[in-house]
Amino acid sequence: MTTLATGQGKRRKWRAFTLIELLVVIGIIALLAGLLVPTVRTVMRRAEISRAKADVQRIVAAWESYYREYGVWPVENGNLFERGGGTNRQDAQEGTSPGMQMLVAVMTNIMYPRAEYGWGGSLEINRHPIATNYNPKMIPFMEYDPECLNEHGDMVDPWGNVYWFMFDLNQDGKVERGGPAATTVYASVIAWSLGPDGSNSEDDVKSWE
């Protein structure tokens, strides 16, 4: 009887020790997970910034190629992709949904039309007249990743905001970017993303930095 009781006691102690070990392991895993989550977020944020940086540089390279080919920016009367009378020699910028759609149209030779701008009501690929007017040679100046386009055909950054770009329209050798993050860039064309916070601030991802 004594031997049996001792054996049962040993078994009970063994089971209790195993449960404690399990709780310790769970605690260690939870601690490691808590330490890793910020690291993973940091890595993901850096990857997003790297993608945005590559995109803005690609946009600039495409517009530079466009200018070398046609000798003009697609701007008249200070308005991007609009033909009209008069002249406005101020630097021109664009960062709107229709502007980015037209960039895709002109630079890649395709268009994802958007109903509210009168360009169709579906996401079927076709050539829009805006591309015919401003890229008559049908040169694909820029390859695009479909993952960079939203459901409306806008080229967007990793945070879902359209990219901005600006031309040195008055040909003074620099671009004057306004807003809270105002700066002067000595270039013929620049592009930028509004960054993770989606506003014109210091976290913007810029082609010139």
Q: How far apart are CA 189 and CA 110, in angstroms?
A: 22
CB 153 within 8 A of CB 112: yes
Q: How far apart are CA 169 and CA 139, in angstroms?
A: 22
Structure confidence at residue 128 (pLDDT): 58
Query: Would you call 68 exposed, middle or buried from its count of C-beta atoms within 10 A (0-12, 13-18, 19+)?
Result: exposed
Q: Where are the domains of the chain?
A: 54-206
Tracing tokens 């209790």 back to the chain, one arrives at 16
Q: What is the largest CA-CA distance in the chain?
A: 110
Q: Tell me which residue of 58, 45, 152 sits closest to 97, measured CA to CA.
A: 152
pLDDT in tens, 60-87: 999 899 999 988 887 655 455 543 333 3
Q: How far apart are CA 5 and CA 16, in angstroms?
A: 17
Structure confidence at residue 87 (pLDDT): 39
Tracing tokens 């809270």 back to the chain, one arrives at 180
Round to the nearest angstrom and report the end-to-end CA distance of the chain. 83
pTM, two decimal places: 0.68
Task: Per residue of the chain (209 residues), give pLDDT as tens.
Answer: 444 455 555 555 555 567 777 788 888 888 877 777 777 777 888 889 999 999 999 999 998 999 999 888 876 554 555 433 333 445 666 666 666 666 776 777 654 444 444 444 444 444 556 666 778 888 888 877 777 777 777 788 999 988 888 888 778 888 887 766 678 889 999 999 999 988 878 889 999 98
Structure confidence at residue 11 (pLDDT): 53
Structure confidence at residue 159 (pLDDT): 92
Structure confidence at residue 151 (pLDDT): 76
Please provide the DSSP assignment of 110-149 as one string: -B---GGGTS-SS---B--HHHHHH-TT--------GGGB
